[in-house]
Amino acid sequence: MKIHILTSPPEIFFSRARLMVLTFLGLLFPIILSAQPPSLQKPGVFRGDQDLSGWVMSEKLDGIRGYWDGRHLVTRKGRIINSPSWFTKNFPPFELDGELWSSRGQYEFIQSVVLDAHPGEGWKKITYNIFEVPNQQGYFFQRLGKAKLWFASHPHPWIRIIEQIPVKNKSDLDFFYKQIESNGGEGVIVKDPLKPYDTGRSTTVLKVKKARDMEGEVIAVNPGQGRNQGVMGSLTLRLENGVEFKLGTGFTDKVRQAPPPIGTQVTFKYHGFTKTGVPKFASFLRIRED
């Protein structure tokens, strides 16, 4: 008797094998879905000399930016946020842009909750703070009005529309900024409300953040990777209070090629501190020679 062995073309076999492996891995690890990164309106930087007559100001919240595309909440890089279904219930079919936030100084908590593949109880402490209604006709307050009208008829306990305060003059902005800063806030956003919506780096939406600087002692020089292969990638610094962290941005090629030796004091700029006392958004400024 002749035995017939049924075979499949190699590509079919490997496709089936690949499918089985992916199915198995999917049971073990949650898949992080990604969408196309949204075209966002990105604030420029307030230089201090722009005329802000007729503009409005609001607190810049230190949370995770969440873009509602009409179906999903996504990050600025297009990663789909796994929010609970109850959190986005009653969200509109049109786009929204806002900040997922809880309170000042809670960035690490917010990040851990919002970017978790498995939405948990922490979401009950998160609010969605709307600062723009993208791709709508009209001026800023007309666009915001569409969101207000929607949520007036579709109430949602976790929705906030960020208060916009008229800027009378530069002194008015300075006073507001100092209030935010003294209460542990990140900064201020100023915006020309008479401009139509646009995307990309904006000249009519500006962030006001006054960086501070401090010194740290170099305790390690860490090798670089990628484009910094073969040169210094970062410095590990120890602050006067004993906090240690890695400083990896702000260096010129010259400094990366000849980094400061261990024991050197360097100056860096930063914007506030994390909950554990690490400087936020730290960037190298200079080597202390004195």
- Positions marked active-site: 60
Closest CA to 74 of 37, 44, 101, 104: 37
Contact 198, 41 (CB under 8 A): yes
CA distance 248 to 235: 6
Q: What is the SS3 assignment for 154?
A: coil
Contact 158, 87 (CB under 8 A): yes
CA 279 to each of CA 44, 223, 246: distance values in angstroms, whole numbers, following the listed order: 22, 21, 10
Q: For residue 59, count other CB atoms closer than 10 A to its CB.
A: 23
10 Å CB burial of residue 136 (0-12, 13-18, 19+) is middle
H-type alpha helices, 168-225: 170-182
